[in-house]
C-alpha cells in the first residue's frame, strides 16, 4: 500500500496549489468564491494525483482537512472522513468546543 505517498503528495502540493489560487485572486476573494477556489483546488489536485503520473492510487488514498484563516472568517474544508474541531478558551481556561458542523459543498469525486 502506498497511502503514505498519497498523503505526502497532498501534504507537499495542496497547500502550494491553494496558496497560488488564493494569491491569483487576492483582491476579489469573498466567502462564496473562496469556497469555489478551495473546491477547484481540491479537484485539480485530486485529478493530478489520479492521473497515475505521481503515484499509484489504485489501493491507496488519503483524507484532508484544510483551514483558511482570515481576520473575518475561518473556513474549514475536508475531504474524506476527517474533520476540524474549532474551540476556544473561556472563563479562565475552560475549553469550549464550537459545534458548527456546516456542510457548504458536497462533491462526489
Structure confidence by residue, pLDDT tens digits, 31-57: 777 888 888 999 999 899 888 777 888
Q: Is the pTM of this model over 0.75?
A: no
pLDDT of residue 68: 78
Percent of the chain with pLDDT over 90: 7
3-state secondary structure string, the chain? CCHHHHHHHHHHHHHHHHHHHHHHCHHHCCHHHHHHHHHHHHHHHHHHHHCCCCCCCCCCCCCEEEEEECCCCEEEEEECCCCCCEEEEECCCEEEEECCCCCCCCCCC
Percent of the chain with pLDDT over 70: 80
pLDDT of residue 107: 44
- Per-residue confidence band for 109, with pLDDT thresholds at 50, 70 and 90: very low
Amino acid at each position: 500500500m502506498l497511502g503514505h505517498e498519497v498523503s505526502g503528495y497532498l501534504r507537499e502540493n495542496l497547500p502550494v496549489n491553494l496558496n497560488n489560487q488564493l494569491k491569483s485572486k487576492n483582491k476579489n476573494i469573498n466567502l462564496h468564491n473562496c469556497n469555489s477556489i478551495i473546491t477547484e483546488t481540491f479537484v485539480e489536485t485530486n485529478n493530478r494525483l489520479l492521473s497515475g503520473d505521481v503515484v499509484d492510487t489504485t489501493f491507496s488514498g488519503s483524507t484532508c482537512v484544510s483551514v483558511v484563516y482570515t481576520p473575518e472568517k475561518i473556513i474549514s474544508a475536508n475531504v474524506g472522513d476527517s474533520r476540524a474541531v474549532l474551540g476556544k478558551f473561556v472563563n479562565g481556561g475552560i475549553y469550549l468546543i464550537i459545534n458548527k458542523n456546516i456542510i457548504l459543498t458536497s462533491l462526489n469525486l
